[in-house]
Amino acid sequence: MMEKVIITAAICGAEVSKEHNPAVPYTIEEIGREAESAYKAGASIIHLHVRNDDGTPTQDKDRFAAAIAEIKKRCPDVIIQPSTGGAVGMTDSERLQPTELNPEMATLDCGTCNFGGDDIFVNTENMIKNFATRMKERGIKPECEVFDKGMIDMALRLHRKGFIPGPLHFNMVMGVNGGISGTPRDLLFMVESIPSDATFTVCGIGRAEFPMITMSLLLGGHVRVGFEDNIYLAKGVLAKSNGELVAKAVRIARELGREIATPDEARNILGLKR
């Protein structure tokens, strides 16, 4: 029997805006509202970016602290996973600010990626080592964000060198512009490339979201949905909240015989120390 499924909700990201979907949260209150909607629908992890009130992305530590306090007020036991990706063009020290708050988990991007046009999301090997060292020092569990097979290989190499402790946890990002495509063939290739004791989550970008999470559920993996990755509930139908996207993921999981993990069950699966 497959273990319970951990649902991560990526509630706002750094790029998607209210012009795309009016429900995308910017303010602290809106971020709290969207986190709560996802949590009540079944998410046990909130993947967190923060914005200024006008929607511009920021990695400001105080803004993260305010957002985390608001989410914890509404969802006391939820796992909060800040992004150290930030937005394209931010410096290392900017991106690392949320680690100063000692969250249980944070994201660790494992390679450089073309993000369309002239945008390059830069993560050199030394940057990845630097971010991984910071997380290890602070006891923060890294979620290795991998947009392609070579990024898995980088994570495995840095694991062997002691920078990333095991057991490893991956998020396979499928269908991003410049990364691996969101197809069953490519996801199977990615999943078969990680160690047997590793855990993995899958997110698909845009139309790839629900096909890719369904594939992950069949493979025994975990899932991520949310406005960062996709703003539609179905073709042409804007989601009214992150909670609607989580609720759809819950329905798919249950149809496939996978029960939903609570935050504390997710902590046990991932080996987190609360």
- Write the CATH number for 96: 3.20.20.70
How far apart (Å, rounded) are the C-alpha atoms in residues 201 and 11?
16
pTM here is 0.97
For β-strands 57-58 and 199-204, DSSP reports them as unpaired
Does any domain span residue 109?
A: yes
- pLDDT tens, residue by residue, 114-164: 988 899 999 999 999 999 999 999 999 999 999 999 999 999 999 999 999
Does any domain span residue 34?
A: yes
Give the rounded distance of the alpha carbon of 197 from its chain centre. Answer: 20
Does any domain span residue 2?
A: no
Per-residue confidence (pLDDT) for residue 88, from 0 to 100: 84
- How many domains, the chain? 1
Q: Which two tokens stand for residue 238?
A: 């804007």
Does any domain span residue 73?
A: yes
Q: Which of 70, 82, 87 is nearest to 36 (CA)?
A: 70
- Total H helices, total E strands in the chain: 9, 14
Alpha helices in the chain (DSSP H): 28-41, 61-74, 92-95, 125-138, 149-160, 184-191, 209-218, 242-255, 263-270
Does any domain span residue 12?
A: yes
Confidence label for 243 from pLDDT (cuts 50, 70 and 90):
very high
Q: What is the DSSP letter of 221?
A: -
β-bridge partners, 171: 145, 201
* Residue 247 domain boundaries: 7-270
Q: What whole-number percentage of the chain has pLDDT above 70?
A: 99
How far apart (Å, rounded) are the C-alpha atoms in residues 268 and 42?
17
**Residue 160: what are its φ and ψ, rounded to 5°?**
-65, -30
- pLDDT tens, residue by residue, 198-231: 999 999 999 999 999 999 999 999 999 999 999 9
Does any domain span residue 1?
A: no
